[in-house]
Amino acid sequence: MFTGIIQTIGKIKSIQAGAFCFEAQSSFFNEVKIGDSIAVNGVCLTAIEIGDDYFKADISQETLRCTIFNHLGVSNSVNFEKALRLNQGIDGHLVSGHVDGIAKVVDRFIEGESTRFKINTPKNLIKYIAKKGSVCINGVSLTVNDINDCVFNTNIVPHTLKATTLGELKINSEVNLEVDIIARHLEQLLHH
């Protein structure tokens, strides 16, 4: 589990046969060991190798299919978050690191001191998104401001734009989307 509060920005160092190598400042890897979970752009990955300023993870075909990793390359920036510890506070919301699908930025504009993003969501996922509820975009916990058909919008404050890769997003950028875990489980419970 994660919180959606990004701890650092890193980069893709290399890609070889389904194994991705990610680099970041060395202090991020303090106390990280092989087998630990690290969310990269909101995707829960298992560290299979760790160095002073990098870690490697295998990425399955399923993960490549339902995330933006298929479209990323060497030197692309990514968001990092270590797994939630039981003695840690939750500043964002509970995030599983299991991306539900790919969404697309359809508009971005300044609104007061923040930046408003409009995100087009796959039709099968919009039912899990609620006004004033939480979503996770590229690993970042965000609040939904409004929904219109399959498009939701969210305001992002300057600190979040600087501390994450969201500041790099443009119109037509694709993003990893994880809907609220409680909404998914509630639907499953009601279905049965």
User: Could you tell me if 112 and 178 lie in one domain?
Assistant: yes
CATH of the domain at 22: 2.40.30.20
pLDDT at site 88? 65
Structure pTM?
A: 0.92
Residue 125: the pLDDT is 95
Same domain for 107 and 57 = no
Q: Using an 8 Å Cβ cutoff, are 160 and 120 in contact?
A: no
- Please tell me whether residues 74 and 111 are part of one structural domain: no
38 occurs within a structural domain? yes
**pLDDT < 70 positions in the chain:** 86-90, 92, 185, 192
Q: How far is CA 106 from the centre of its chain?
A: 18
Inside any domain, residue 93: no
DSSP string, 22-90: EE--GGGGTT--TT-EEEETTEEEE-SEE-SSEEEEE--HHHHHHSGGGG--TT-EEEEEEPPPTTS--
- Quickly tell me which residue has 């190598």 as its tokens: 21
Q: What per-residue confidence (pLDDT) applies to 65?
A: 93
Among residues 50, 82, 114, which one ends one of the domains?
A: 82
Q: Which structural domain, as residue segments, surrounds residue 18?
A: 8-82
Is 121 inside any structural domain? yes
Any bridge partners for residue 155, and if so which?
Answer: 116
The number of domains in the chain is 2
Note the pLDDT of residue 189.
Answer: 76
Determine, yes or no, domain membership for 122: yes
Q: Report pLDDT for 84.
A: 81
Q: How far apart are CA 66 and CA 137, in angstroms?
A: 14
Same domain, 153 and 106: yes
Reported in sequence order, the residue ranges of 70-173 that DSSP labels E, i.e. its strands, are 77-82, 101-111, 114-120, 134-137, 140-143, 146-148, 151-156
